[in-house]
């Protein structure tokens, strides 16, 4: 996305987002370089960066790499200047993370849900918000991003079946969480926030284009291009779990037969293990994989051919640099599944001069969706991309809080 400011006074809130975004993307960066990059006057950039410094969002330091003359003031993000909460909701589990302005997780909690009732879910989120943000400056916690199973707004598929949160169907989830936490709330599909987390800190870092396969209770996916998750017309693109990959296969809650996530998902694996006499506890899957447990290896042998064909389809559709497989499944399990898919079938993935693997195991695992959820909130509240969704100007709030604190200090 190109960043361009407007040299008109009315454009100040937009320009603040533009300048802050330039720092988020290119720090450390000088004011002169920001002005050049976003097409604003040096004076406007100087005024705005002073405001952002007052708000505590950026810090300035002299660039001492310059040997001659007065070194330029370089701007960087102040990681502790603002926070967001990332929340992940999935059948049986709620997780929350405090994410700083750099997009890094600085604290994390989770709660198993005895049932997936709305009351249990909303109470768990409110409880985790209170405990995780205790001690942090309250006005610096700007908002909350939620990752949950998709797709959204599709009658036969949304909030239907054991891989979704069925009991939230028809509820104003955003409003209920906002009321319980007092924060502005933004919601996206877990595979989309996971793709964002993987792009920022995981195996997708440094890749221009990649497809992220979210292996959670269900199965989802998202294509990331130039750092942006491609959402499609309704934000649901990549709903790979409901591709009917097995002709006349198992019936699925969506109404089709042979959907991919009936075979490849933690829910499918749980059913398989139960049928083979293994009680599945979420934390034990990594151990079962390390021990090459016979029931688990039999499942891998059963589903690997389906995944192998799916990989061809993804590569031929998107021509990605790589497919990153992550989500809530333990990395040991994903690695075994990838191994069982080899040799991979011919596809666009066999492009000439290829130096990297076609399939990569996530390096951030389950945290990707959580981190991406926090960054979703920061983006909506601070970046030009989120401008339409903003309900209030967080930066103004931070500036005013800082100024009134300064006045109180002077008065005392």
- 3-state SS class at 119: helix
Cα–Cα distance between 266 and 376 in angstroms, integer? 25
Q: Which is nearer to Zn ion, 194 or 241 (CB)?
A: 241
CB of 95 vs Zn ion, minimal distance in Å: 25
CB of 309 vs Zn ion, minimal distance in Å: 17
Q: Which is nearer to Zn ion, 11 or 249 (CB)?
A: 249
Residue 140: which residues within 8 A CB-CB, separation 6 or more? 56, 80, 81, 82, 83, 398
Q: Which is nearer to Zn ion, 252 or 361 (CB)?
A: 252
CB of 156 vs Zn ion, minimal distance in Å: 9
- Where residue 44 falls (left for φ over 0; alpha for ψ -120 to 50; beta otherwise) is alpha
Binding positions for Zn ion, rule: CB under 5 A: 242, 252, 254, 256, 259
Name the one residue in this structure whose structure tokens are 């499609």. Answer: 232
Q: Which is nearer to Zn ion, 239 or 321 (CB)?
A: 239
CB of 279 vs Zn ion, minimal distance in Å: 26
CB of 237 vs Zn ion, minimal distance in Å: 16
Q: Which is nearer to Zn ion, 5 or 216 (CB)?
A: 216
CB of 161 vs Zn ion, minimal distance in Å: 7
Q: Which is nearer to Zn ion, 6 or 256 (CB)?
A: 256
* Three-state helix/strand/coil letters over 269-331: HHHHHHHCCCCCCHHHHHHHHHCCCHHHHHHHHHHHHHHHHHHHHHHHHHCCCEEEEEECCCH
Cα–Cα distance between 129 and 373 in angstroms, integer? 14
Nearest C-alpha neighbor of 310 from the set 270, 265, 271, 274: 265
Nearest C-alpha neighbor of 387 from the set 21, 100, 24: 21
């Amino acid at each position: 996305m190109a960043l361009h400011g407007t040299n008109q006074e009315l454009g100040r809130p937009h320009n603040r987002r533009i300048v802050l975004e330039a720092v988020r993307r290119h720090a450390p960066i000088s004011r002169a370089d920001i002005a050049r990059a976003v097409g604003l006057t040096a004076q406007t950039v100087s005024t705005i960066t002073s405001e952002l410094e007052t708000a505590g969002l950026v810090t300035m330091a002299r660039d001492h790499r310059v040997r001659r003359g007065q070194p330029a003031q370089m701007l960087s993000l102040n990681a502790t200047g603002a926070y967001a909460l990332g929340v992940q909701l999935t059948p049986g589990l709620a997780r929350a993370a405090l994410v700083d302005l750099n997009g890094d997780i600085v604290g994390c909690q989770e709660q198993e849900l005895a049932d997936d009732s709305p009351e249990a879910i909303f109470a768990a989120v409110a409880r985790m918000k209170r405990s995780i943000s205790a001690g942090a400056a309250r006005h610096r916690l700007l908002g909350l991003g939620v990752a949950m199973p998709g797709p959204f707004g599709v009658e036969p598929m949304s909030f239907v079946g054991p891989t979704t949160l069925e009991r939230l169907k028809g509820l104003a989830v955003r409003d209920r969480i906002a009321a319980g936490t007092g924060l502005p709330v933004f919601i996206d599909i877990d595979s989309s926030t996971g793709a964002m987390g993987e792009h920022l800190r995981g195996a997708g870092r440094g890749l221009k284009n990649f497809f992220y396969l979210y292996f959670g209770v269900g199965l989802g996916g998202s294509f990331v291009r130039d750092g942006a998750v491609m959402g499609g017309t309704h934000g649901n693109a990549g709903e790979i779990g409901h591709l009917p990959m097995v002709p006349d296969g198992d019936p699925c809650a969506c109404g089709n037969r042979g959907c991919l996530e009936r075979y490849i998902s933690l829910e499918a694996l749980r059913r398989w293990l139960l049928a083979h006499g293994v009680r599945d506890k979420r934390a034990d899957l990594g151990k079962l994989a390390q021990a090459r447990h016979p029931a688990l290896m039999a499942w891998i042998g059963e589903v690997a051919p389906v995944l192998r064909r799916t990989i061809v389809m993804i590569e031929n559709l998107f021509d990605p640099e790589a497919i990153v497989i992550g989500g809530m499944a333990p990395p040991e399990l994903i690695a075994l599944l990838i191994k069982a898919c080899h040799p991979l079938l011919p596809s666009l993935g066999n492009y000439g001069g290829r130096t990297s693997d076609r399939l990569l195991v996530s390096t951030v695992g389950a945290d990707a969706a959580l981190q991406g959820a926090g960054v979703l909130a920061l983006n909506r509240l601070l970046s030009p991309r989120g401008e339409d969704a903003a309900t209030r100007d967080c930066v103004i709030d931070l500036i005013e809080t800082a100024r009134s604190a300064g006045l109180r200090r002077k008065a005392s």
